[in-house]
Amino acid sequence: MQLIDGKALANKIHTQIASKVSKLKEEKNIIPGLAVVLVGDNPASHAYVKMKAKACKEVGFYSIVHEMPSTITQEEILATINMMNQNPHIDGILVQLPLPKHIDTNQILEVINPRKDVDGFHPYNVGRLVSGLDSFVACTPLGVMKMFEEYNIDLKGKDVCVVGASNIVGKPMANLLINANATVTVTHIFTKDLASHTRKADIVIVGTGVPKLIKKDMVKDGAIVIDIGINKLEDGSIVGDVDFAEVAPLCSYITPVPGGVGPMTIAMLLSNTLDAAAQREIV
């Protein structure tokens, strides 16, 4: 069993990005800019945004956080995003999810300029991903693909089971895998007999938010297991969607939680923002 070290890979990518940022500044006088919209007082959202801001600073990005109360109106958020769409120094716009229930999340995401959609959630970028065209791709699935690349895991012809079908993780993950010529099964909350699907898979990728959902009798010997979940238990411990202690001995490769996929999500956000900045028209 080999651990896939997402933290080490993310640090490597951060170093590469910092070098490219210096070069971009020197050659084109461009500093990549990332703007975050943070609505309400969700502790997890605030923690994620703080980590993203720290990462931006480390690689030399300009970043700004628009903090808004949970009572904010749809129109006020849209106005802020439109302002950022027109700001030539902002290359990436990220809306921290989830948004309060009275906000239409789809409308908010659709108003972001697709060229600044570094989260890869805009229908334009989703459509290009499905079509196998270059696009901004959701950061977590993109991070998983980088892990496969780093560890020389060939996806061609592999049977892959994706557990979870969210727009943020499961669906873009499935599309990336199909584009890489894997055979993909997508399961979700209404799937009958989940274990019958995961047991057949060469690779199991789990992102459901259900602690320790995947047990040892659900995974075949030698499988590769990617755990995207991160859950805080009542005792304060952090666990994934996979019962690591049970499942790890069976695996050829497995990601830990924490230190697996999580750091890669931020690394890919930085990478997408750098790509957006490199395409910026010099003003």
Active-site pick, 20, 52, 158, 171: 52
The structure tokens listed for 27 are 């050659």
- Give catalytic status of residue 96 as yes or no: yes
Cα separation of 88 and 276, whole Å?
11
Query: Which residues are CB-neighbours of 254 under 8 A, at least 6 positions away?
Result: 1, 2, 3, 4, 224, 225, 226, 227, 242, 244, 247, 248
- Give catalytic status of residue 220 as yes or no: no
Note if the bond before 258 is cis, omega within 30 degrees: yes
Active-site pick, 119, 202, 227, 241: 119
- Give catalytic status of residue 23 as yes or no: no
Active-site pick, 5, 20, 91, 96: 96
Residue 147 one-letter amino acid: M
DSSP H/E element including 3: strand 2-3
Helix, coil or strand: residue 9: helix
Helix, coil or strand: residue 280: coil
For the annotated catalytic residues, the residue numbers are: 52, 96, 119
